[in-house]
Chains A and B, each alone.
Chain A
Amino acid sequence: MLINADHRSWLVGTVVVGALLTAGYVASVRATPYGASGGSWPGLGFGVLGTACMALAGLLSARKAVRTWRIGSAQQWMRMHIWLGLLAVPCIWFHSGFAFGGALTTALMVLFYVVIASGVLGLALQQFVPALMTRRVPLETVLGQMDQVIDGLALDAYEAVASIVGSIPEAAAEQQRLEAEIAASQSGSWKAVARQRPVDPPLPRSDDIKAVYLSAVRPYLAGAGRGTPPDLRPLLLASPEEWRPKLDRLQGICEEVRQLTVQRRLHAWLHTWLFVHAPLSLALFVLVAVHIVVALRY
């Protein structure tokens, strides 16, 4: 959960400053016959303040580029990013007098709202999705290694099945990888994993396992967990006791791959919004610069 009690001082500070700005805005509206505008001194002040808030908030990405620099912890920068980003909203409202203005300022305002909305969406997602992922994906792995992990699980599954049904010609790729790993483990490489050779000849009455593996398990693993995971309980019940550990492992592999699919989906929820938020923030800064130049010049 991103927002917690540690944010209390930032929350209070933002509310207090927001209230003061509101009071200032109301006072300036009352003092001028046509209300505050961006060109008036108070309006200009709100604009400068809003821009400063956005600029400071935007420095978070620069901070992330220098992770080992001791210039305040990333947590402190994140809090500043969130609360100054939100404080920029009333500043810009008061600067614009709640109007969209011309084409440039309208584009600016729309971009500003999209950036703020995507940030708030990201904040909401990061508030709740991590706990959801913790609960739903106990077998979580590092996302960057997920493909390798699923490949490894597919090989584990083949190894478990082949230790009952023997080599499976239809799964030639897995057989080839298994042989390579067995050879590597014999070479004494520090990266090698001990592997079991396929049984020869196949154990009697193991045809059902081979059939289920080829028709359900293998396609499921090859599809990286898309679709419904195969239910191996009937196979488990019909198999001899000594095969159970291997079939349990097979079921466990399918479950792990299912969880990894959920993880991939939740991870996308957690981070995809950034592909909107970050580039549009950059575009916003460009437009703000243009707006400043145009406003000062004309």
Chain B
Amino acid sequence: MLGRHAGSGSDGLEGQWLSLEDLAALDLFKSGKRAFKVKLNGNFAPTAGQPEPGIKAAVRREFQKGDVICNAGEYGSTAFLILEGTATATLPTGAEARPIAGRTAGSLERLATLFRRRNRRARRVPVGLAELGEASPYATLSAMRPPAPRQLGPGDLFGVDACINFYPREATVRAEERCVVLEMLRSVLDTIRDAGDAGPGIDAAYRDAALRDQMALTPWLQELREDERGHLAAGAELLTPDADEVRDGVIYREGDTAEAVYLVRAGTIKLAQQRSSGELVFAYLGRGTAFGFEPVLDTRPPAPLQLVCVAPAGALPTVSLEGVVTVGRKADCQLRFPSDYRPVGRQHCRFALRDGDLFLTDLDSMNGTLLNGERVREVIVTAGDRVTIVDYTFEIVRPDVDATTSADTPRVRVATATGLDNFELVKLNGRELRRLAAGNDAYRGALLEIARSVGAAVPVSADPRVVSELIGLNLYNSQNTLLIDLDRCTRCDECVRACADAHGGVTRFTRDGPRFGKYLVTLACRSCTDPKCMIGCPVGSIRRDGSLEIRIEDWCIGCQRCANQCPFGNINMVELAAPVSTEPGGAAPLRATVCDLCAGYDGPSCVYACPHDAAIRVNPAAFLSAEDLR
């Protein structure tokens, strides 16, 4: 008999509590290391002087046939071990997989609970039925053609990904028959990974599953046959910031030899080039994207642009626009008009390459230089532009090079890729990808399409100031931030009071912080995609449970680790009014508090109580624009 205590509450996970003896009987919890026992004893054993249980960090749960054990798209912070029975894991298709961005209730339910004090523990909203708040760029991955459901049996561990990375769960797991599982908090899983005998096995299984699932969920790999994907997976690696080849978060640098293509499983990756004017950020890539396509594209230095005379066609020779090219009647001009053709100046205009850009400058000519029909003084020109000089029209062209069929020469990186947080990447062999593309037209097409979309390097925002501000304020990985429009806010503090009212008199945020233009970025939890606060809680009391908000459970021991790890100071330690310790003279016990997006209420109270429409909760990267900086 494993379980002794049924029930739920504030002492841990819902389910039957497992004692240390119960856990020790499981293969997963075998270890010869003393540290393993010390950690388990220290954190999860019954509290001294109190009847068991202590913190329910690992519980036994039972599911009947057809029951959903966990849903794709839900945020979760627990992993599961199947003890008895079988289950199937299904990757979602299309719209089934969406993150729940906040708690919402139907209008009837809203009416019914109008004046009722809400439960702190909110109901779970089924995935797919939930109304969505902000669409997250970090949405759960989904596959148009998902692979066959995976069978899970006794001894199989699942949910490790969400438990470690805090991203929404990738698969829906459903019991195939009566199924008994052990659900555990990250703190338990970390203890096993660090010191348990099963640790290396868990990590290896995690790596294999991560590679397999990520490749299955990557649309442009679907054109490959199963055996081709398997072959590709065999040579793939899982890359994290701890890897030797990653230095200070830099995955590769501009100019490096390009040998791999990367799939982003977790984290935020910045792609940027160094220009004389500073760093030019091309893109911030999140979960589900891919980058580093240089191995499959031709990244040899591009052929220089050419100036081709199109009207009258071929009347003047084609000129390569390298260095400085002067156009005119003078003898030393690189593109020379007939010397007796007086409407064109002796030195009429000039093309010059500066910092990678091609400038066209009119040299005070009498009849002017037209770019696409408009008279110009100095402009940057590019392929496709038409330049008119009196009666002559030229087109700027770049000789085309077929990407994947070009010679098998070493490719170079055109940008630097840097991980901005705790990323996890699948590193694919670029040479292998290129070989597969050579013999599969459909795959080659899909590959080129995705590669060119990244290669086109369209910046996330049209205005680099916005990008730089978002980075400066660390808002790029924020999913839900409380902003206050200071042009509307009368500083009445109704938002703060509403927050305090909703949380037993203690506010969970401070109406202060940095500014993005007219918006105040408040000191409130930002629902990071990479919540550092959730790493290393010794008792697993800080977690996500089904949706976006971060919760600190009642069994918090006040160690302050989460508060110290939050880079934005958005977790506050509060002194408990009623001491739980009976030791005389002891300091007041602390408890960590964080904005929980008013879980249990219909939306955040701060926003609801603002009479001036000033408080908003948004995804800042999607919401803020250059307009706000004016």
Contact = CB atoms under 8 A, between A and B. Distances in A.
Interface of A: 1-2, 4, 6, 60, 64, 67-71, 73-75, 77-78, 126, 129-131, 133-134, 138, 140-144, 190, 267, 270-271
B609 interface: yes
B492 interface: yes
B494 A67 contact: yes
A68 B610 contact: no
B610 A130 contact: no
B435 interface: no
Chain A CB within 10 Å — which of B110, B491, B497, B601 has the most? Answer: B491
Interface string B487-507: 111111110011001100000
A138 B489 CA distance: 14
Contacts of A71: 114
Given A134-B518, A271-B492, A190 B590 contact: yes
Q: Tell me the interface secondary structure of chain A in the complex.
A: helix
B490 A75 contact: no
B605 A67 contact: yes
Chain A CB within 10 Å — which of B497, B515, B573, B608 has the most? Answer: B608
18 contacts: A1-B488, A64-B609, A67-B605, A67-B608, A68-B498, A68-B601, A70-B114, A73-B607, A73-B609, A74-B494, A74-B608, A131-B518, A133-B486, A134-B486, A134-B487, A142-B511, A190-B573, A270-B491
A68 B502 CA distance: 6
A74 B611 contact: yes
Interface in B464-519: 486-494, 497-498, 501-502, 510-512, 515, 518
B512 A75 contact: no
A2 B613 CA distance: 8
B612 interface: yes
Contacts of A64: 494, 609, 611
B115 interface: yes
| Smallest CB-CB A-B distances: 3 pairs | A67-B498, A78-B611, A134-B486
B612 A67 contact: no
Chain B CB within 10 Å — which of A71, A74, A140, A144 has the most? Answer: A74
A163 to B, nearest CB: 25
Q: How large is the interface on B (under 10, 10 to 19, 20 to 34, 35 or more residues)?
A: 35 or more
A129 B489 CA distance: 10
Nearest to A149: B512
Nearest to A81: B611
Contacts of A70: 110, 113-114, 601-602, 608
Given A70-B608, A73-B609, 20 more contacts: A2-B612, A64-B494, A64-B609, A64-B611, A67-B494, A67-B497, A67-B498, A67-B609, A68-B609, A69-B115, A70-B114, A70-B602, A73-B607, A74-B609, A126-B612, A129-B490, A130-B487, A142-B512, A144-B493, A270-B490
A69 B114 contact: yes
B487 A131 contact: yes
Contacts of A138: 515
A130 B605 contact: no
B404 interface: no
Contacts of B502: 67-68
Contacts of A270: 490-491
A138 B518 CA distance: 10
B456 to A, nearest CB: 36
Contacts of B110: 70
B336 to A, nearest CB: 57
B347 interface: no
B560 interface: yes
A266 B493 CA distance: 15
A134 B113 CA distance: 38
Contact of B612 (A60, A78, A134, A141): A78
Given A68-B601, A69-B114, A74-B608, A271 B490 contact: yes
Nearest to B487: A131
A138 B486 CA distance: 11
Contacts of B611: 60, 64, 74-75, 77-78
Interface in B39-54: none
Contacts of A1: 487-488
Nearest to B500: A67
Contacts of A141: 512
Interface string B67-82: 0000000000000000
A71 B486 CA distance: 26
B610 A74 contact: yes
A194 to B, nearest CB: 14
Interface in B595-625: 601-602, 605, 607-614
B523 to A, nearest CB: 10
Nearest to B486: A134
Nearest to A189: B587
A79 to B, nearest CB: 9
Contacts of B614: 130
A133 B492 CA distance: 13
A246 to B, nearest CB: 24
A142 B490 contact: no
Given A75-B611, A126-B612, A141-B512, A68 B488 contact: no
A85 to B, nearest CB: 14
Nearest to B609: A67
B196 to A, nearest CB: 32
B513 to A, nearest CB: 10
A141 to B, nearest CB: 6
A130 B488 CA distance: 6
B612 A143 contact: no
Given A69-B115, A142-B512, A130 B489 contact: yes
Interface in B94-127: 110, 113-115
A4 B613 CA distance: 10
A134 B573 CA distance: 30
A84 to B, nearest CB: 15
Contacts of A131: 486-487, 518
Given A67-B501, A68-B502, A130 B608 contact: no
Nearest to A77: B611
A143 B501 CA distance: 20
B453 to A, nearest CB: 36
B609 to A, nearest CB: 4
Interface in B560-574: 560, 563, 573
Contacts of B512: 141-142
A6 B613 CA distance: 9
